[in-house]
Structures are given as structure tokens and as C-alpha cells.
Amino acid sequence: MSEEPTTHRDTTTAAESGSVHLIVSAERTRMVLSGEIDVALTDELSEAVDDAERASLPVEVDARHVSFMDSSGISMLARLARRVPGRLAVIEPPEVVRFLLEVTKIADVVDIVEADPGFPTSTPTATD
């Protein structure tokens, strides 16, 4: 029997310039960011961090499709890095995000992953 990942939050709307999605599997949580990650997403980012923390699983942030990030996004990454189990992984951050991670020294406390490791679509379970 396999368990499908649970989509926890989808905050995409036409009025927003950016989005955050949280996907939880049995093994880990993936936060998918896209577009402009800025003050307009503050509430959604905060809720996503809270949900990720409640899942009590390692967290990876897919940043491949981020076009802009301000201090709201960097603050969220720092908060995630402090509050979730294990080291936070940031997948394929574009130069704008990589620069901010380095200049704020957050790159010292997260793992920057150069290639997407994939996300489980199902989790094998033990059989008797």
C-alpha cells in the first residue's frame, strides 16, 4: 500500500505576483516558491512555515521559479532553518536568491541543492 503526498496549502491567486505551495509526504515536506516572494505573501509564508513545522519532517524549499525575493522571503527561510528538523535544503536557487542567502549568511545554515532530487509520489510501506 502506498501513501500519496498531501498538499497542505495552495495560496496561488490571480492577484498575487508570487505563490507558495506546501506538499507533505511521509518522508519530508516540500515548499514550492514561485514568482515574486515579497511582503504581499507575508501571511501565506508564515502559515506555510507553521504548517511545515507542525509536520515535524525535514523540509526542502524548491526555489527554482523565484523571480524576486525581498526580506520577507529571506526572513521566512531563516525561520524555517531554525524551526524544522534537520538542515533546510534550498533546491536550485536562482542567482537573486543565492545572492541573498550568501550576503545574509543564511547559506551557512542551509544546504543549497544544485539538482532537484525529486519528490516521492508514493511511499513504500512494509508488508508482513
Q: What CATH number does residue 21 fall under? A: 3.30.750.24
Strand partners, 33: 20
**pLDDT given for residue 98 in this prediction:** 97
**Would residue 1 count as lying in a domain?**
no
**Would residue 109 count as lying in a domain?**
yes
Per-residue pLDDT of 86-126, as tens digits, reads 999 999 999 999 999 999 999 999 999 999 888 775 444 44
Q: In angstroms, what CA-CA distances link 106 with 23, 101, 103? A: 23, 5, 8
- Structural domains counted in the chain: 1
C-alpha cell at 128: 508482513
pLDDT at 74 over 60: yes
**Would residue 92 count as lying in a domain?**
yes
* Cα angle value 118/64/85 (rounded, 5°): 60
* CA–CA gap between residue 124 and residue 99 (Å, rounded): 38
β-strand pairing of 29-37 with 110-113 = unpaired
Q: Mean pLDDT across the stretch 75-86?
A: 95
Q: Which helix (H) or strand (E) holds 18?
A: strand 18-24
**Would residue 121 count as lying in a domain?**
no
Residue type, 65: H
Per-residue pLDDT of 26-55, as tens digits, reads 999 999 999 999 999 999 999 999 999 999
Within 13 Å and on the Cβ side, how many CA atoms surround 8? 23
**Would residue 123 count as lying in a domain?**
no
- Domain ranges, residue 48: 7-113
